[in-house]
Amino acid sequence: MPLMFLNGTAMSGQKDHGCHAGSTYLGPARTAAAYRFFAVRDEFPGLLPVEVGGRVIEGELYDMPDSVLSGQLLPAEPAELELGSIRLLDGEEVNAMILQPDRLQPGDRVVDISELGGFRAYQRFLAANARLGEVLGRPEW
């Protein structure tokens, strides 16, 4: 079975985790420092391979049958992502969803979240800022 690196809404505890039922969780994983990481419309993240300025991005590694990958996970993925391969911190090559910048629409909100190191960190950042807005009496923040 191919190994699949997940870094967004299909990770454990996230809204789309059930879209790969039948795969086996192998544990946390981190990419090599060869990627930038973007939040698209605050809906999902996307990895983008880069030659320079890459960061290590956290995610989860799964042993995923081809039937689960092609029949469940891929149909649930946003159109802006495409199946590709990445290199993990230990040098292993695995499958992952890669951001396709040419599929982004004009006006799409895209934020570079590479420095945060992962999608869960970005979600915590958004939640903390929402609480800050409430504390300061500015809920629109």
pLDDT at residue 83, as a whole number: 97
**Average pLDDT across the chain, whole number:** 92
Structure tokens given for 83:
């199946």
Structure tokens given for 93:
């090559």
Cβ neighbours, 10 Å, residue 27: 7
pLDDT in tens, 16-31: 888 899 999 999 999 9
pLDDT at residue 2, as a whole number: 83
Set out the domains of the chain in order of their start, with CATH numbers.
3-135 (3.10.490.10)
Report the Cα–Cα distance between both ends of the chain, in Å, rounded.
44
pLDDT at residue 91, as a whole number: 97
pLDDT in tens, 31-70: 999 999 999 998 999 999 999 999 999 999 999 999 999 9
